[in-house]
Structure 1
Amino acid sequence: MRVCIGWRRLLLLLPVIFLFPHIISVLQLHKDSTIEHQHQKLTKKFDHLVFGPAAGEGLHDRLQCQGTKALNKTHFPSSPRNSNYGDGISFVTVFTTYNSTADSFIKSRSSEQVSVGKMSYNKVERSMAVLNVFVNFLERNRVTLYPIKGEYSRDKLMLQRIRSYIVFLEQKLEEQSQLQGRISHYIFTDSDVAVVDDLGQIFKDYPLFDLALTFRNNKEQPLNSGFIAVRGSRSGIQRAKVFLQEVLEVYSSKYMKASRMLGDQLALAWVVKSHPSFNTKRFTRQQPFEEKIGGASVLFLPCATYNWTPPEGAGQFHGMPLDVKVVHFKGSRKRLMLESWNFLNSSPSPHISDMLCLILSSGRTKYDF
């Protein structure tokens, strides 16, 4: 009788034992699908601006916003057309167009349309739109093209950019004799930046530096290559050229595996940090400082002011400093750059502070660029 009861219990448990692995599989499948869904939500690209609370609320030295209206107006001019960048400063960017006939990936995607406001762009046109907005923010009437031969493939682009900077500076050294005492300073930037305030002041406030770099509190990549200023004196151009040649040599010998994206920033950091007297703790403070690196006097400027990136990067979650001068629309923020320019132009009484509120409230989102 006891044996019989034991077998009955065993027979009752058999379906449960049989179903248990299937229940675990279903639960695991549900868990995986939930994770995948969450991942898709995080990586989904939006075709419109997505607004959230503006970072830095309540902080006295940060921009305060109510929607897209700035509550504490900054010192920025009411329109970029009134900005005074100074006649002696030239902004330089390296730009290359897609070769859609040679690149099958670009060719297959070149017909994909993305709309921003009333304009629609394919893959190739998007990069041109960003370049046009870059120029519009500078309010320059004159644009000069310098065709520089080199290797502009995607995996060598950052390496070639340093080479192009060096070639450009060599050309300017040759032209020095024709300037007859006039000095023109140079600021190399990425084309996905918006210059929103006068940058000429740095050459007046810091009259001794040869070149300037922007830094952030990031142990592995403390320097961002998207902003490099060069004093236009003959000695400044010469020393900046030699400095960049050393960066290029380090890049080519140590960081070719990172040549597609980060090699230039890693090489910049190596050249600076390898200097015996350099104190890397200075990168943790948001204060400009000067240091002799090799034969060049290098001015280090905080990214928070001179190379600020909308929320998604290190140190950006505390809002936007009131003295920000350059906004860098890195990565997936290209749509935000175009939307910001459209917003500024469509406002009946445009003010850069209000546009900055638009940028600040629309962070941490991946868009369709």
Structure 2
Amino acid sequence: MRVCSGWRRFLIFLPLIFVLAHFLSVKELHHNSAVEDLPRNKESNKSKSNHLVLGPAAGQGLSNRLQCHGDGNGIKALNHTTHSSRASAAVDSIAVVTVFTIYNSSTSNGHVEDQISNSVTVGNASYTKFERSMAVLNVFINFIQLAMPRSSVVILTDPAADLSIRRNKVTVYPIQGEYSRDKLMLQRIRSYIAFLESRMEELPQNQKHTHYIFTDSDITVVDDLGHIFSEYPNFHLALTFRNNKAQPLNSGFIAVRGTDDGILRAKIFLQKVLKVYQTRYMKASRMLGDQLALAWVVMSHPSFDAKKFTKAKAFVDDIGGASMLFLPCAVYNWTPPEGAGQFHGMPLDVKVVHFKGSRKRLMLESWNFYSSVSNIPDMLCLILKSGRTKYDF
């Protein structure tokens, strides 16, 4: 009887034993899976490719998009872009203005090991963080002087920055302010306003007008932009827009007509943006605050129709007494896609490529590629065929 009762107890608890064993095996499986999902070590997590990996070009088969082909003979554009070689003879001179500063620029700061670990290789060159920033700035200047040889470049910077650039038609213009990383976007608007005020003071002595295009320093100009001021003769300032409800305006490109009225109205408009920035969007001061403020000033105007942002077509509107030209980002502020197939490719008439965020490697790679082929459409194909995760800094 005792033997039978023992077997009976064993049979009663047998299902429970199977359930417990299954639970432990599943728990161990999930634990192992979680461990595999974690990075093996910090070094492997930080390691990034030091060369471009090309993929399919977005927009294949679309007649109004750049068509590219890549084989053993290199990257080639299959159709001609609508870039013109015409100079801006119909307008006065043009200056491209950017805000640029440097951080931790002294090579004496930090250990040699830290400098080596923070270096990155692009092509045949290796850069520290400081060298990388300066390389991007020089490529910015290179493309402007290539596409717009008659133009000049003005770099607005912190007076404390040791920024020595000796390039033809390049001027370094120090402006006092707060250039910390957290306040740089805010300072950029202040620097634009201060620069425009200085231009207003010089206007009576200077009969010849200079038009201004304020841009980020991580853009490449691939076609002459002077036509903006001749084809649209009545605007005071221009912004670039995209079909994005939250952030329809991008602050990386602002054109200002160099007349007394144009400079004055641009200054007043930017002062409004600065005020909105400081009162509404200081929590986004490090990033996006300026773009949110731009959108608020424009879209809060009673007569403005935001539906115009849904079509990539230039238009002019009156905002607070200023005649504003809105240019599509697809042409004047195009950003390389984050993955293959996005944004339907690159328009044939693109004039400005914006290497936002971590796309800086691709900007340097693009200049290196252009230097070897001397062909803008082929270089644009390199940009189009490069996936974002393959070129992050």
**TM-score, normalising length: structure 1:** 0.90
Given that 2:52 and 2:390 are in contact with CA atoms closer than 8 Å, whether structure 1 keeps it comes out as: no
CA distance in 1, matches of 2:204, 2:392: 48
Partner of 1:114 in structure 2?
A: 120
What's the offset of the Cα at 1:227? 0.3
Q: 2:53 aligns with which of 42, 46, 50?
A: 50
Partner of 2:388 in structure 1?
A: 364
CA distance in 1, matches of 2:28, 2:265: 66
Matched, 1:232 2:258: yes
Q: Deviations over 1:268-298 (max 9, x none)?
A: 0000010011111111111111111102111
What's the offset of the Cα at 1:11? 4.5
What's the offset of the Cα at 1:15? 4.0
Change (3 A) 1:106 1:65: farther
Identity of aligned residues (%): 64
Q: Given residue 118 of structure 1, which amino acid in structure 2 is its aligned partner?
A: N
Partner of 1:194 in structure 2?
A: 220
Given that 1:83 and 1:197 are in contact with CA atoms closer than 8 Å, whether structure 2 keeps it comes out as: no
What's the offset of the Cα at 1:16? 2.7
Given that 2:181 and 2:286 are in contact with CA atoms closer than 8 Å, whether structure 1 keeps it comes out as: yes
What's the offset of the Cα at 1:367? 2.8
Change (3 A) 1:26 1:199: same
Given that 1:100 and 1:106 are in contact with CA atoms closer than 8 Å, whether structure 2 keeps it comes out as: no
Given that 1:98 and 1:106 are in contact with CA atoms closer than 8 Å, whether structure 2 keeps it comes out as: no
Secondary structure of the 1:146 match is: strand
Matched, 1:259 2:308: no
What's the offset of the Cα at 1:108? 8.8
Matched, 1:303 2:329: yes
Q: More strand per residue: 1 or 2?
A: 2
Given that 2:183 and 2:286 are in contact with CA atoms closer than 8 Å, whether structure 1 keeps it comes out as: yes
Change (3 A) 1:318 1:118: same
Given that 2:119 and 2:126 are in contact with CA atoms closer than 8 Å, whether structure 1 keeps it comes out as: yes
Matched ranges for 1:268-347 at <5 A: 268-312=294-338, 316-347=342-373
Matched ranges for 1:171-210 at <5 A: 171-180=198-207, 182-210=208-236
Matched, 1:97 2:97: no
Matched ranges for 1:77-96 at <5 A: 84=87, 88-96=93-101
Return 5+ residue gaps in structure 2 as ranges: 150-167
Matched, 1:72 2:66: no
Secondary structure of the 1:290 match is: strand
Alignment: residue pair count: 359
What's the offset of the Cα at 1:45? 3.3
Q: Given residue 92 of structure 1, which amino acid in structure 2 is its aligned partner?
A: V
What's the offset of the Cα at 1:183? 1.2
Partner of 1:153 in structure 2?
A: 180
What's the offset of the Cα at 1:34? 5.5
Return 5+ residue gaps in structure 1 as ranges: none
Secondary structure of the 1:346 match is: helix
**TM-score, normalising length: structure 2:** 0.85
Q: Deviations over 1:184-205 (max 9, x none)?
A: 1000000000000011111111
Secondary structure of the 1:283 match is: helix
Partner of 1:143 in structure 2?
A: 170
Change (3 A) 1:44 1:115: closer
Given that 2:53 and 2:390 are in contact with CA atoms closer than 8 Å, whether structure 1 keeps it comes out as: no
CA distance in 1, matches of 2:323, 2:20: 75
CA distance in 1, matches of 2:105, 2:122: 22
Matched ranges for 1:343-358 at <5 A: 343-347=369-373, 350-358=374-382
| Structure 1 runs, 4 residues or longer, greater than 6 Å off | 40-44, 104-108
Secondary structure of the 2:252 match is: strand
Q: Deviations over 1:172-220 (max 9, x none)?
A: 111111212x111000000000000011111111111100000011111
Change (3 A) 1:43 1:65: farther
Secondary structure of the 2:192 match is: helix
